[in-house]
Structure 1
């Protein structure tokens, strides 16, 4: 437990500076994230592909950039959507869009990873029971760009959750034991 002895050697000012540095890093990351949300109109402007359902278009670990367009969704758009009761959003293509007769601003949307992607059936089995269509409220954003294979760390942490906590603990210990030059 060398880090405890390091803590004992730090004076209050050094400990305060370490705390402020960690706080500044966290605050900066949150400000960047919130700025992206405001600029893109998407609640989650950056997502990582976690499954292989969109191959060969997108592979596991690709980082996708989302934008919430002002115009309605169209057939062929690649969107990220989330339905009630699902923890993880899904990236698939829109294959059908219907305007409701009662309200032309309300759309019914059907998605799937179309042939050429990796799934053959439509996504109705992914929607909540009794819900045959998505609506615009389920769409988190339209994919407008991607970086291939950059999100590999997210895949590893998703597949091995204990690693996430080990990394957080290691970073915490590193911050506490680092010495000022």
Structure 2
């Protein structure tokens, strides 16, 4: 009861003016987060610049094959270097683990077989992260059709597409993978599967801001 009691006493001692000030501070934090997210959308050209891998269909993990420019490292500095370096490396050897965070960019360059893309399917709310295995360019219009597949799946994704759909068009693609952070997305997965944890964390952060003396 010590920490809870102190928190209750702190809330009771807060004056209305101070409470409004803290509420404004909390609102500014939320607003800043939204501004940063919108800025990332503009910079990357993707409606979802950061996504979490929610299934094991792209295992056995994000790694580089032998004789490439870099190998799997564990230090924080190396991971930050990887995020930057991946922009210039061949994306075809990317593999993903459940819980990895993926950074997306949507450039106008042609989509290539071997790239990892995030795409939407009509009628589905959750985007899918899979690899492009075949690209078909229409000679009459110049439009590109794309076929995808999960690295850990036996067949292509046509069973996942909308009924009668055989290919993805560019408007289905939300972004192209350019970097990653391994396992960081587990926080999101846990909060999604256990909503009570999310509410506890949000409530605790809100109390921390409101009861802050600074």
TM-score over 0.5 for the pair = yes
Does 2:68 match 1:35? no
Q: Within 5 Å, which residues of 2 pair with 1:73-152? A: 73-104=111-142, 106-113=143-150, 117-152=151-186
Q: How far is the alpha carbon of 1:4 from its aligned partner?
A: 6.0
SS in structure 2 of the partner of residue 150 of structure 1? coil
Whole-angstrom distance in 1 between the partners of 2:167 and 2:204 = 45
Query: Quick one: distance in 2 between partners of 1:165 and 1:128?
Result: 35
Deviation at 1:129, TM superposition (A): 1.3
What corresponds to 2:15 in structure 1? 11
Query: Across the two proteins, how many residue pairs are aligned to each other?
Result: 176
**Any idea what the Cα deviations from partners look like across 1:66-108, whole Å, max 9, x if unmatched?**
000111211111101111111211111111111224411x221
- State which drifts further: 161-170 or 74-83: 161-170
| Structure 2 portions without partners, runs of 5+ | 61-94
Q: Unmatched 5+ residue regions in structure 1?
A: none
TM-score relative to the length of structure 1 = 0.88
1:159 to 176, 184, 193: 193
3-state SS, counterpart of residue 25 of structure 2 = helix
Q: Cα RMSD over matched residues?
A: 1.8
